[in-house]
Amino acid sequence: MTLQLFAHPFSSYCWKVLIPLYENGTAFEYRHIEHEGVFAELAGYWSIGKFPVLRDGDKTIVETSAIIEHLQIHHPGPVPMIPADPDAAIEVRMMDRIFDNYVMNAMQPLVNNAIRPEEKRDPYVAEGVHAALDKSYAWLDAHMAQREQDGREWAAADQFSLADCAAAPSLFYADWAYPIPAQFEHLKAYRARLLARPSVARAVDEARPYRSYFPLGAPDRD
Amino acid sequence: MTLQLFAHPFSSYCWKVLIPLYENGTAFEYRHIEHEGVFAELAGYWSIGKFPVLRDGDKTIVETSAIIEHLQIHHPGPVPMIPADPDAAIEVRMMDRIFDNYVMNAMQPLVNNAIRPEEKRDPYVAEGVHAALDKSYAWLDAHMAQREQDGREWAAADQFSLADCAAAPSLFYADWAYPIPAQFEHLKAYRARLLARPSVARAVDEARPYRSYFPLGAPDRD
């Protein structure tokens, strides 16, 4: 039975799952949310209607981290996303949540607000989002500086992992919405390393045709 | 070295970690965020400043799910929060994220908005939060109905788990902020089962003195 991924190429959380699929050359059917009838079919499996959603036979798996754990167990490839060592796995899962919660979700209110009709926008959103991202960027820069000193190029443990799958789209879009300040050179260098990774570069390229969708206005750069 | 948990008794995400600690009778030092100097100390370990934060020797662990994974590995007790079976563990981790993201975090904008000075409140928040919780409640009610049919009383796999630790505070407070409609009797029964569990009842009791903190006004019930 072919794996089916209900996804959209511009969606940050869809990238998070596409990256491990591309890393491992895992075969799957890409069910593009904009294609006719696809969203209705997705909603039949997951009434919350968020994506990506993975169908594996008659099983529905939602939430990106759970999907990646499922892929690792049932469709393993050469690049495991969660280390076998229990402590390393905790470190990876902790950094996954840090990128999801303190970068991706922290930025989201800015995007949600921009989608609203102009007269219904909340004028106090940006201030809060910027304050939150300032803290996140500062902590992540110090974290990546320490990682570099330890001879590590990725976010957690000793390998490219689930944490980097979360980092790539969150740092990509957060830097568009509220640029990482120049002084955070370790974080900026990490973002550049992520974008140079072929699986991430592929996700970035597939999203190019949709850049006009970015509610805050996509800058003319990656 | 004694475990230290930086926490506040009224914080929903702190309950999520207190529940497995109480389930397992794990010894720890409760560093109450309101006590003098405690928040400053926490901020020294975790500059983002969110809590709970666990200190285990010189290790700092943040994010509730990662803290619970850490407790299970390094301070195991009689009630494991993540099943040993890999598929059951994925189910538990998926449901954990569903409660965190589609109940707790879905409700949060309502609370955040109520904390703002009245003239700075966003009049369009409630509509979005209610629509999101309507979907979450409906899906969860159907899920719990299916679980009951399968002879299961908890949210995932065959045991009380990480998923229920996330469910207890999220359903407790969400039902205060936007009551679960009467027709969702399976979800309401599950919330009642959670509140009857001694570890959860203890967290509820410890939070009682702080009910006046609830920004939307605490109703006179659990």
Please state the rounded mean pLDDT for residues B34-39: 98
Q: Residues B158-196: pLDDT tens digits? A: 999 999 999 999 999 999 999 999 999 999 999 999 999
Q: Residues A121-175: pLDDT tens digits? A: 999 999 999 999 999 999 999 999 999 999 999 999 999 999 999 999 999 999 9
The CATH number that domain A86-197 falls under is 1.20.1050.10
- Both tokens assigned to B17: 């970690």
Q: Residues A74-88: pLDDT tens digits? A: 999 999 999 999 999
Domain ranges of chain B: 86-197
Please state the rounded mean pLDDT for residues B137-161: 98
Interface contact B135, partner A, CB < 8 A: yes
Q: Residues A89-100: pLDDT tens digits? A: 999 999 999 999
Q: Write the DSSP assignment of B26-89 as a string of letters.
A: ---EEEETTSTTHHHHHHHH-TT--S-EEEETTEEEESHHHHHHHHHHHS--SS-SS-SSHHHH
The amino acid occupying position A167 is A
Average pLDDT along chain A? 97
Task: Give the three-state DSSP class for A109.
Answer: helix
CA distance B67 to A215: 35
Q: Is the pLDDT score of B30 beyond 90? A: yes
pLDDT band at B206 (very low <50, low <70, confident <90, very high): very high
Interface contact B136, partner A, CB < 8 A: yes
- Both tokens assigned to A117: 């009709």
The amino acid occupying position A214 is F
pLDDT in the model for residue A183: 97
Q: Which of A91, A92, A122 to mutate to test the interface with B (most CBs of B within 10 A)?
A: A122
pLDDT in the model for residue A104: 98
Chain A residues with CB inside 8 Å of B139's CB?
47-48
Chain B residues with CB inside 8 Å of A48's CB?
102, 135-136, 139
pLDDT in the model for residue A161: 98
Q: Residues A1-23: pLDDT tens digits? A: 689 999 999 999 999 999 999 99
Interface contact A59, partner B, CB < 8 A: no
Measure in Å the smallest separation between the Cα of A212 and chain B Cα atoms: 25
Q: Residues B104-113: pLDDT tens digits? A: 999 999 999 9
How is chain B split among helix, strand and coil, in percent rounded to 5? 60, 5, 35
Q: Which of A65, A73, A90, A110 to mutate to test the interface with B (most CBs of B within 10 A)?
A: A90
pLDDT band at B137 (very low <50, low <70, confident <90, very high): very high
Look at B63 and A101 and tell me if their CB atoms are within 8 Å.
yes
Measure in Å the smallest separation between the Cα of A15 and chain B Cα atoms: 18
CA distance B139 to A166: 26
Radius of gyration of chain A (CA): 17
Percent over 70 (pLDDT), chain B: 100
Q: Is the pLDDT score of B90 beyond 80? A: yes
pLDDT in the model for residue B214: 96
pLDDT band at B27 (very low <50, low <70, confident <90, very high): very high
- Chain A residue whose CA is closest to B138: A47
pLDDT band at A112 (very low <50, low <70, confident <90, very high): very high
Look at B124 and A122 and tell me if their CB atoms are within 8 Å.
yes
- Chain B residue whose CA is closest to A137: B48
Q: Please work out, in degrees rounded to the nearest 5, the angle formed at the alpha carbon of residue A31 by the alpha carbons of A26 and A34.
A: 145
Average pLDDT along chain B? 97
A102 vs B48, B109, B135: nearest CB: B48
What residue has token string 């909603």? Answer: A43
Q: Is the pLDDT score of A70 beyond 90? A: yes
Q: Which of A63, A81, A124, A127 to mutate to test the interface with B (most CBs of B within 10 A)?
A: A63
Please state the rounded mean pLDDT for residues B46-61: 97
pLDDT in the model for residue A19: 98
Q: Which of B90, B92, B112, B140 to mutate to test the interface with A (most CBs of A within 10 A)?
A: B90
Interface contact B145, partner A, CB < 8 A: no
Interface contact B161, partner A, CB < 8 A: no
Q: Is the pLDDT score of B1 beyond 80? A: no
Look at B48 and A93 and tell me if their CB atoms are within 8 Å.
no
